[in-house]
Structures are given as C-alpha cells and as structure tokens.
Amino acid sequence: MDSGVLQAINGVSFAALLFLLASGFTLSFGLMRVVNMAHGAYYLLGGYIGLSITRYTGSFALGILGGGLAIIPIGYLIDRYLIRRTGENHLAQVLLTVGVAFVMGDIALKIWGGDNLKVPTPIELRGAIELPGGIIYPTYRLLLIVFGLIVSLSLWLLYRKTQIGAVVRAGVDDREIVSAVGINIDRLFVLVSALASFLAGIAGVVGGAFLTLYPGAEWEILVYALVVVIFGGLGSLEGAMIGALIVGLLDAYGRWLLPEFSYFVLFGPMAILLLLRPQGLFGREH
Amino acid sequence: MRPYRAILWLLALAAALLAPLLVGQFWMTLITQIYIYGLLALSVDLLLGHAGLYSLCHAAFFAVAAYTTAILQVRYGQPTLIAAPAGIVAGTLLAVIYGVSVRTRGVYFILITIALGYVLWGAVYRWASFTGGDNGITNVPPPSVAGITVSSQTAYYYLVLAVVILCALGYRILIASPFGLSLRGIKASESRMRSLGYRTTLHLYAAFVISGAMASLAGVLYVYYNRFINPVAASFQISVEVSLMAIVGGSGTIIGPFLGSGIVLGLRNWVSSFFEFHAAIMGLAFIATVLWAPTGIVGFVNRLRARDATAKEKAPKEKPQ
Amino acid sequence: MSAAIEVENLAKVFGGLRAVDGVTLRVAPGERRALIGPNGAGKTTLFHCVTGTQRASSGHVRLFGHDVTQLPEYRRTELGMGRTFQITNVFTELSLAENLALSIIGRDRRKWIFHRPLAAFPAVREHALAGLDAVGLESRADQPVKLLSYGERRQLELALALNTSPRVLFLDEPCAGLSPSERTRIFNMVRALPRHITVVLIEHDMDVALGLADQVTVMHRGRVIAEGTPAVVQGNTEVRDVYFGHV
C-alpha cells in the first residue's frame, strides 16, 4: 500500500513537470498551428542557463526565473525567422525545429559538457517530509506538485476566465475570425509563444534539479510531452493537464512494476487510445 | 522510358558495378552503407511521397530486424537462412502492430510515430538482459547460405547492390500499380477517395506494413554489413535523418532517397573528420533543406528542365528564310 | 417498387444547430429530383448524410430498400451512390486520366493490385479516355489537373462521379461558378444521362434545376417546405417568400 501511494506521488510530481512543458507545446499548436519540436531543447537550455545562474548567484529562484526568461528571446527569434517560413506544413515544421534542436543541443554540449549536471536546490528543499501514513517523501518533489498546481491553476484561470484567455480560445477555434474582428493576432502569437518558451525554460530548471541535465535529456522529456499531448489532444489545455496525469502515473507505476518494460506501459494505453479515440481525449476530429 | 533516361540508368548501373574496382576499400564500404540507408529512406518515402504520411518511427523496424537476426545468429547459433528471414518477419510484425497509427492523420500521425519509435528504442535500451543494452550485440558473423559465406566486403557490396536493385524494381511496379495510384489519390484528396469507394485507412495500413517490411530488409542488410548492432539504430535521430534523405534527394521518386542517402552520409562523413559537433551540422542541413530545397535534388533538376522548356516555348520564332 | 432513395426523418445536429431537422423524402428510380432552397437550408448537409460523408444524428437512409444509415461512405459508393462536391474536389496533383482511373477501379478489386503496373490494364485506360471524352476533356488526358480552368475542373468532377457506375447520382451545385456556355454543357450532359441512373441535384440556377427536374423539393432551415413538379413549386407562395425574403 505504501509503495503504491509513493508511486502515485512520484507520478503526480512528474506530471507537474510534464504539464509545464506540454501546456506550451499544445497551446502553440492550438493557436499558431505550429509543431515545435525544439521545446525539449528549450527545456535543456533553460535548465543549463538556470543552473549557471543558480551557481553564480546562489539563488534557486533567480535560476528558475532566469532560465525561463532566457528562452523567450530565443523562442521568439526561432518563431519569427524560421518557423514562420514553413506556413502550416507540419512536416516542414517538424524537420526544421528538430534541426534547431540539434543545433541547440550541440551548443549546450559545447558550453556545459556531457556530464550529468544537477541544478543545486536550496538547503530547505533538500530534505524529506513525513507525510500522514508514515511515508517519507522528498520535499522538493512535493513542492513540485504544489508548483505545478499553482501554474496549472493560473494558466487555467488565464485561459478560461480572462478576456485575453477568451481571445486565445477564440483564436484556437478560428484564427481568421479573430483577426477579422480587429484583434492583433500577431501580437497574440508573440505572447503565447513567449509564454510557451518561458514555461519550457523554467521546466528545465525545475526538472534539472531532480532529473539532472545531460545531452539527450531534451529528447527524452520531449517524447513524454508528446505522449501527454497525444492523450490529451492537441490544442487543449485541459487535455494537457489530464494527459500529464495519465502519463506521469503510467510512467511511475510502469517503472515500479516492470522496470525493464516501462516504456511499453505507455504503449499499451496509447494503442487503445488510437483504436478508440485517435484524436485524443479533448482533441478535435481531423 | 525516354532514351536519355535509359542511358543515365545504364551509366549509373555500370558505375555501381565497377565501383569496387575503381575506388578504395573505404569508399566501397561507404557506398554499401549508402545503399542500405537509401533502401531505408525509400521505405519511408513510400509513405511520405506517395501516401502523404510522415512516419518518424522507421528506425524501429530497421532495428528490430537487425537485432532479431543478430540475436538468432550470435546467441542461438541459427544459420542465415533462418536468421535473415526471421529478422524481416520480426520487423514486419512490429509494423503490423504499429500500423494502428494510420488511424490518425497529419500532425497527430507524426507525433504518434515519434512516440512509437521512442517506445521501441526505450525497450531495446532498457531490456538489457535480452538486447545487450548499451553494448548491443557484437560479433555477428557474415551471412552464409548453402556453404557460401559472403565474408569479403567486396562480395557483400555486390550482394547489397543486387538486393537493392531487385527492391527498386519491385518498388517501381508497386508505385505504378493501381494500389500505388490509390495511395497518391489518398494523398491528393482522401475525402474524394472515400466517396469513390476506397477504404482509405485500410490502404494506408497496407502501405505502412509494406514500408515496414522494406525497412526490415534494410535492417537485415545493415546488421551483416556492420557485424554489430546497438540501440542507436533504433533512435529518433536515425528516423529523422532517413526522412531527410528522402526529401533532400527528391521525394516521390525512386532515385531520390538514394541520392539523399549519398548526400547525408557523405556530408556526415566529411564533417566528422574535422568537426566533432556533427549533430549541429545535421541540424543545419535540416534547416537548410526545409527553407531552400524542399523538393530536393530531383525537384531542383525538374524545375531547371521546366524552366528550360518554357524558355524554349517563349523563344522568338525563327526568322523567315 | 422501392424508392431509389428514401430518407426518413433525417436529422443532423451540430451543437445547438439543427442543420437538417427531420427531412423525409422519396426519390423514385430513374427520377430527376431537384433540391432547392436558400443558402443555409441544409441541402449540402443532407447530401453528406445520405452519401455517408457525414453521419446523421438520427433518421434513416435507404438505397433501393437497403438501409445504409450505419454504413461508411465507401460502402455506400460500392452499393451504387455517386456524388459530386460543391467545392471542387478532384486530384489536382494527378493527371486527368489518373483521376478517371481512380474513379473506374474504385468499386472493384483491381484497386488492390500492387504487383502489376496500371499500364498492364489497357481496358482501364480506354474506359478513362471514354469518360474524359464524354465531358470533352479527352485531349488533355495526360496533363495534370493543375492546368485546368475552374470550369474544366467542374466537368472533371462530374466525370469522376459518373465513372463509378452509380445507380443514384448526387450532384451538388454542378453549375456553380460556371459561364453560361459551360452551364449549358453540364445541363445537356445531365439531361442525356440514361434513366437507369437516378439523379438528385442541388442547384441555385433555377433554369437548370427546374429544366432538368421531374420533381422539386424545397428546403428551408433544415426542413422540407414544399415538394412537387416544377410548375407547382414555382407557383407556391411560401417558396417565393422564402426566396425573396419575407421570412
């Protein structure tokens, strides 16, 4: 019983991290019809930058903020000068952004090297807490869950309850009408893109503190984010939340029960999803 | 076939047959590798250039076939006559399972194949007790059938060339067949095809499995060539590179994927001799291709010829005598 | 004798919108039925539900007595339904002959042949050329559709539907966007169709619709508001109101 609960917490904390990455990815697609495979590289680079900032300033909070902010201009440049030239050709977008990710990955390799690096966390976060029921669990991962809840709640409120969120939702629904109504759709794109980049960057710092950062990490985390979006449906924020929970829990239980086959644990439910509802739980039919 | 085209093909064939005599060992093995990856790229292009499906999981079929053959030969001492077909069957079986992905289209299909490819890579990597994990399977013996062992690199070059030529001929019939045309119809307008009575998802599924079988064949050729297999063969990087080969060479043609294979492998070889960050170079190649050469070499040549043709049409009439 | 097409209380609902709101009609074999009505009346949606392009929310569709309501689109085509689309839907990247070839083999097993080239079936090519000739496009058989004008593509659209050997043909605004001479051409082609093919057509051009039809069905806001011969419908005041705006 203990172990089951432990895995559930593992799964939810991983889900929190995945949501940070997947939410930006899914909104980028929903609004801008852009598939940005460099999101994993944003995570990695944001993580490394946050790592350096934390080492230099001694502040984890600054590291998180810095890692996120640093990716915003990078993401903007990539959107504006590269992705925009592909129109809505999704294969071209995939190839282009994979190429960008390769380049970013090598740059990161050159600067930070190939070893596993851990983002240093403040002392207060390094211990463990005793939970009701006698489970001892790392403080950091519990806080990650709280952080994830705060971010998802904020995003959800922004998306569902504010005017700007309504505009974004309208844009996801029908881009042409939004610009016809006179809203500056370009500025909206820049905003959403910046948010996505920021979230990916802070995910890198936050994730790098317990998963460590290393060459290849950008692809491993990206694939998880893709599976989240496959389950949840492209373009849906709620889908990203539910999908993240599904993937996080599947992964945690999979690793615990079948360590050698943990990837297969993802595959089974994916296959069932493909047979029953290929567009994802909250996705649109194509 | 127009005469100049036939001549070009014959020249290419002659060059391929004579290559081992003209170039050194190094180049010959590189060209063998180009053929093998070209076949893999061709398998991807059946879906990409004809059916309009962008699969990024073909390294999975390639690797499963290679691993099956390797494990059967090395660990279970099976002869080539069993190990090689078994490899092709195993890879094709994975395609039969992964073919469920054709229930999606467009970007969903791309994402799902990426995920499926990763699942297989992860399985190969983590199931170390069976696959050898990071270390892979080594000491794969050369293929041997009925007492004849293809041990020299030159002999293997010709074996691969023969297989690739046979495949290309079969592929040529496949894409010219009614089934091939129906794939192109689906790519052009799936809704129209459905209203004409086609069960489009089933056609795409069949194409996916055939494509997987081709990729498996390439995998078997690869493992005897390399005598070694490790999880890198199942990686996303390979799947993406191979789709780049199809595009750079010219998607929708037969020669395109092989040209692309030559370009990509040639580039990688050349760059890695002086620059360790070849992932970045590959990345730049992707970016450059997407931005400036989306129709590939063949497309470029066709555009030149079309421009030539319209220029001739517009040329002023000859002066009266 | 069973109707060629029988639609029974068909409805199609999108969220809150009842695009088709309980439509019942019967088309006799060999009949020419015109389906008219202002924009947004639900005519194209009705077509989609009958041919299987979309699934109806409720109701039944019967083809020569056979209930096809649950069948997928390709099955309905196999059973003899053919259609054209309002927005031209041809294979732009392929040649005209290839377009027709796809239409011709669509209903039979030959479409699955993968081990012999299409060129090995000269009968298909002959059939394709004949089909193109019927719409006056034979001379451009091997050109890509990309080079065709809008009117020519409309003709190709009709040829595609005709060459599936349909028993019931659904034409969705076959004359939309065509010049007068092109309209006449289409009009004559449809008129010349043999009576073993039943024709249902949506058309905004009244001359074409009323000139071809044996019976006319008028739709408005998802419902049938009038039905009868062209003369009867033309004299119907409610129909006139709907078209000239009192509703």
CA of C233 to nearest chain B CA: how many angstroms apart?
Answer: 31
Question: What is residue A233's three-state secondary structure?
Answer: coil
Q: Do B247 and A223 touch (CB under 8 A)?
A: no
Q: pLDDT by residue for chain B (321 residues), tens digit each?
A: 577 778 888 888 898 898 888 888 888 999 999 999 999 999 999 999 999 999 999 999 999 999 999 999 999 999 999 999 999 999 999 999 999 999 998 888 999 999 999 989 988 988 888 888 888 999 899 998 888 888 888 999 999 999 999 999 999 999 999 999 999 999 999 999 999 999 999 999 999 999 999 999 999 999 999 999 999 999 999 999 999 999 999 999 999 999 999 999 999 888 888 877 778 888 998 999 988 888 887 777 777 777 777 666 655 554 444
**Is the Cβ–Cβ distance between C198 and C30 less than 8 Å?**
yes
**Which pLDDT band holds residue A1 (cuts at 50, 70, 90)?**
very low
CA of A204 to nearest chain B CA: how many angstroms apart?
Answer: 21
| Domains, chain C, ordered by start | 5-80+166-244 (3.40.50.300)
Q: Do C111 and B180 touch (CB under 8 A)?
A: no
Task: Specify the pTM.
Answer: 0.92
**Is the Cβ–Cβ distance between B156 and B147 less than 8 Å?**
no
pLDDT tops 90 at residue A273:
no
Across chain B, mean pLDDT equals 90
Residue-wise pLDDT for A106-146, tens only, equals 999 999 998 999 998 888 888 888 877 777 888 888 889 99
Chain A residue numbers with beta carbons less than 8 Å from the beta carbon of B126 are: 259-263
What is the structure's pLDDT at B54?
A: 94
Residue-wise pLDDT for C192-233, tens only, equals 999 999 999 999 888 888 889 999 999 999 999 999 999 888
What is the structure's pLDDT at A184?
A: 77
ipTM comes to: 0.92
**Is the Cβ–Cβ distance between B100 and B224 less than 8 Å?**
no
Q: What tokens were used for A106?
A: 């090598």
**Which pLDDT band holds residue C136 (cuts at 50, 70, 90)?**
confident
What is the structure's pLDDT at C46?
A: 94
Q: Average of pLDDT values for A223-241?
A: 91
Query: Any CB–CB contact under 8 A between B106 and chain A?
Result: yes
Q: Do C111 and B179 touch (CB under 8 A)?
A: yes
Q: Do B198 and C117 touch (CB under 8 A)?
A: no
Residue-wise pLDDT for A7-55, tens only, equals 888 899 999 999 999 999 998 888 888 899 999 999 999 999 999 999 9
What is the structure's pLDDT at A286?
A: 46
pLDDT tops 50 at residue C235:
yes
Chain B residue numbers with beta carbons less than 8 Å from the beta carbon of A82 are: 287, 291
Q: What tokens were used for C232?
A: 């009867």
Question: What is residue A129's three-state secondary structure?
Answer: strand
What is the structure's pLDDT at B321?
A: 44
Taking alpha carbons only, the member of C235, C239, C161 closest to residue C200 is: C161
Across chain A, mean pLDDT equals 88
Q: Which of C73, C116, C117 sits opposite B195 (nearest CB)?
A: C73
Say how many Å lie between the first and final Cα of chain B, rounded: 36
CA of B175 to nearest chain C CA: how many angstroms apart?
Answer: 8
What is the structure's pLDDT at A162?
A: 86
CA of B191 to nearest chain A CA: how many angstroms apart?
Answer: 12
At a CB cut-off of 8 Å and minimum separation 6, what does A190 contact? Answer: A76, A79
**Alpha helices, DSSP H only, in chain B?**
3-22, 25-45, 58-74, 80-98, 106-126, 128-131, 153-176, 178-188, 190-195, 200-226, 236-249, 255-272, 278-292, 296-314
pLDDT tops 70 at residue C1:
no
Q: Which CATH class is domain A2-276?
A: mainly alpha
- For residue C95, the cross-strand partners are C144
Residue-wise pLDDT for C111-135, tens only, equals 999 999 999 999 999 999 999 998 8
Ordered by start, the domain boundaries in chain A are 2-276
From residue A191, give the alpha-carbon distance in Å to each of A97, A147, A164: 19, 22, 10
* Vertex A248 angle, CA A237 and A1, to 5°: 135
Strands (E), chain C: 5-14, 17-27, 32-36, 58-63, 66-67, 81-83, 168-172, 198-202, 215-220, 223-228
* Vertex C241 angle, CA C236 and C246, to 5°: 160
- For residue C229, the cross-strand partners are none
Q: Name the pairing type of β-strands A136-138 and C66-67.
A: unpaired
Strands (E), chain A: 128-130, 136-138
- Rounded to whole angstroms, how far apart are CA atoms C152 and A227? 46
Residue-wise pLDDT for A151-201, tens only, equals 999 998 988 888 888 888 887 777 777 777 777 778 888 888 999 999 999
Ramachandran class of B88: left when φ > 0, alpha when ψ lies in -120 to 50, beta otherwise: alpha
Using a threshold of 3 CB pairs under 8 A, tell whether chains C and A touch.
no
- Rounded to whole angstroms, how far apart are CA atoms B9 and B6? 5
Percent of chain A at pLDDT above 70?
98
